[in-house]
Amino acid sequence: MAKDTKKTGFSAYMPVTFLIGCGFFTMGLMDPLYDTYVPLFLRRYIESNVLVGGVMTLDNILQLFLIPVIAVWSDRTRTRIGRRMPFIVVMLPISAVLFHLIPVMAAVSLLALVLILFAFNIFKTSVRGPVVALMPDTIPGDFRSEANGVINTMGGIGLIVGTLALTRLMNIQVGLPFTVAGGCIIAATLILLLFVRERIPENAGEETRTRVLDSIRTVFSAGDSSVARILVSLFFWFMAYEGVKPFLGLYLVEAVGVAESNAALAQGIAGISSVLLAIPTGYFAHRMGRRRYIRLSLALLTVILLLIPITGAIALSRDLSLSGRLGIFLILMFLYGAVWIGIVVNSFPMLWQMANFDNMGIYTGLYYTFSQSAAILAPPITGAVIDLSGYPGIFVFGGVCMLVACFIMGGVSAGEAADSPGRSKQAV
């Protein structure tokens, strides 16, 4: 089996990877619309950026607890259609319906908006772990960077459709982008159900009933600190990413001066560069080494984030036009997306490389535990930064967090494509 894999390479897995990417397409479709317009909906009722950031952490709080539990639950699930698919075919369509209702409830009251956000995030959060774990269940460890590049390309296409196409529908009717997105999500669910068949390896272990906490202790019992270092590093780079992301739309509207219909431009431009670079970054990291590639990306992101307030100040001092200021910012966001995708594509495969079939969901859950812990803390902090020092401060905050992550990542010694699955290099 291994010899055949080496001969055929990743090309043999390309078709099924694109099909699995339909699940990531739905996430890419929902997330930018949610992150861009929910803060604007909230500003109808809430003036404080700190409070807006606090409400925006609702999904992250749910992800912190729900994703690890649901991911481990799906590890243990055995049905005719697989162990991940039952969660996907039930929870994704419900998420689509609730997503459609968000702008409807936003027009009613703050309480109605918060309640629908809570319900939507329960279902969207619960399905994320099984959607993500579907790929490493199917693709061998040698090719997961390349495969992650493909499925992140699909997620990026969803982001582009959501930000640069569906947002135009806001000019026709406020809720129309959410309704169309919901229909796309249901269609993607049908594609996954009809065309993706989950694979159970011949050497898969017997199903266990280990408690979640015991399973997590097992994960951290490896012979070196690579798992812990990767998780702490991703905590810091997500502090940067999640601290900046919810306020990009507000930054464009309130600081740069664009119309609300263009509030998603920054995420859309970053999404385009992510789509262009997602697949190549998987191949580059396979040859260069995942750790080295991630560290290089973190260093570059530090520079890009620090350049945003610097170039913004220069543009204001020279009294550049709106189009000039916007153009400079979007160029930097294009570079940001191109570099950021290299981290996203290669960090998950590093963790999966240390996992085996029976605990793939646990590693997936831990990734989200640490990333969502950062996502919970970051928006209120950056909201406070904006209230105290203005929008430039959030980009400085992000740059510092990226730099810290780069240093911590230097001590990682496992997770490369050549490593044996299920253990670190120094594991006994």
Q: Is the pLDDT of residue 201 over 80?
A: no
And the tokens for 62?
A: 């749910």
Does 419 fall in a domain? Answer: no
Q: Are 271 and 36 in contact (CB under 8 A)?
A: no
Instruction: Render pLDDT for 216-227 as a digit per residue (tens, 0 to 9).
Output: 666 666 556 788
Q: Is the pLDDT of residue 215 over 80?
A: no
Angle ∠(295,297,301) on CA atoms, nearest 5: 120
Global pTM reads 0.75
Neighbouring CB atoms inside 10 A of 5's CB total: 15
Neighbouring CB atoms inside 10 A of 179's CB total: 17
Q: Give the residue among 297, 404, 286 at the shortest CA–CA distance from 353.
A: 286
Least confident stretch, 106-120, 142-156, 225-239, 381-395:
142-156
**What is d(CA 358, CA 376) in angstroms, rounded to the nearest whole number?**
29
Question: What domain range includes position 273?
Answer: 2-199+218-409
Does 427 fall in a domain? Answer: no
Angle between helices 14-42 and 265-288 in degrees, nearest 10:
140
Does 335 fall in a domain? Answer: yes
* CATH at 98: 1.20.1250.20
Q: Per-residue DSSP letters for 347-382?
A: HHHHHHHT--GGGHHHHHHHHHHHHHHHHHHHHHHH
Instruction: Render pLDDT for 299-311 as a digit per residue (tens, 0 to 9).
Output: 999 999 999 989 8
Angle ∠(410,412,414) on CA atoms, nearest 5: 145
Q: Is the pLDDT of residue 113 over 70?
A: yes
Does 363 fall in a domain? Answer: yes
Q: Give the residue among 100, 34, 42 at the shortest CA–CA distance from 264.
A: 34
pLDDT value for 218: 60
Angle between helices 360-389 and 49-56 in degrees, nearest 10:
170
Q: Is the pLDDT of residue 424 over 80?
A: no
Q: What is the largest CA-CA distance in the chain?
A: 67
Does 166 fall in a domain? Answer: yes
Q: What residue type is assigned to position 23 of the chain?
A: G
Does 351 fall in a domain? Answer: yes
Does 63 fall in a domain? Answer: yes
Q: Domain count of the chain?
A: 1
Q: Give the residue among 358, 244, 281, 262 at the shortest CA–CA distance from 37.
A: 262
User: What's the chain's average pLDDT?
Assistant: 82
**What is d(CA 377, CA 397) in angstroms, rounded to the nearest whole number?**
13
pLDDT value for 12: 81
What is the arithmetic mean of pLDDT over 249-266?
80
Instruction: Render pLDDT for 29-46 as a digit per residue (tens, 0 to 9).
Output: 888 788 778 888 988 888
Q: Are 75 and 206 in contact (CB under 8 A)?
A: no
Does 207 fall in a domain? Answer: no
What is the arithmetic mean of pLDDT over 192-206?
68
